[in-house]
Amino acid sequence: MNAATLTILLAVIAGALMAIQAPTNAMLSRPLDSPITAAFLSFLVGTVALGLLAWLLPSRPDAAGVRALPWYVWLGGLYGAFFVAMAAFGAPKVGVGVLLTAVVAGQLGMAVLLDHYGLLGLDRNPINLQRVAGLLLVLGGVVLVRRS
C-alpha cells in the first residue's frame, strides 16, 4: 500500500471516528449537564493517550524550531476543542448526519481558501470551476441530509 492510499484510508477512519465522537460526547454531556465539561474530559483522555504515545515514540522536539514557530500555530488545540464541544452540543439537536455534513462543508470551504492562497505554509492550488462545483455539491448535501 502506497503512502497516499494509506493516508486516505486513515482519513476515512478518522472521519468515521469523528461521527462516533459526536454522539459519544453528547452522551457524556447529559449527566454532566455541560458540553464544555464533556469536551474537557474528552480532551483529557485524548491528552493522556497522546502523552503516552509521545513518550513511547523515539522522536524528540527541536527546541529551537519550536521557539521559532509563529504564535498562531498554538491555536490548533482551540479549533479541536471548539469542534468537540460544538459536536457534543449539536449532535442531539440536528443529528450526526447534518452536523458532520455541515462540518465537512466548513472544512472544504476553508481548505479551498487555504489552498488557493497558499496559507499556513501550503503550496498554492488555485480555485477552479471543478473545486467550486465540489464545494457546492457538499453544501447541497447539507440541505439534503437535514431533518424535515
Phi, psi of 61 (to 5 degrees): -65, 150
**Residue 147: its pLDDT value, please?**
66
What percentage of residues in the chain have a pLDDT greater than 70? 99
- C-alpha–C-alpha distance, residues 103 and 96, integer Å: 10
Rg (CA), the chain: 18
Please check the confidence at residue 102 and state whether its pLDDT lies above 90.
no
Mean of the per-residue pLDDT values for the chain?
90
Q: What is the pLDDT of residues 131-143, one digit of tens each?
A: 899 889 988 887 8
Q: What pLDDT is stored for residue 97 in this prediction?
A: 86
* pLDDT, average across residues 111-140: 91
Q: CA neighbours within 13 Å on the CB side: how many for 101? A: 17
Is the pLDDT score of 105 beyond 90? Answer: no
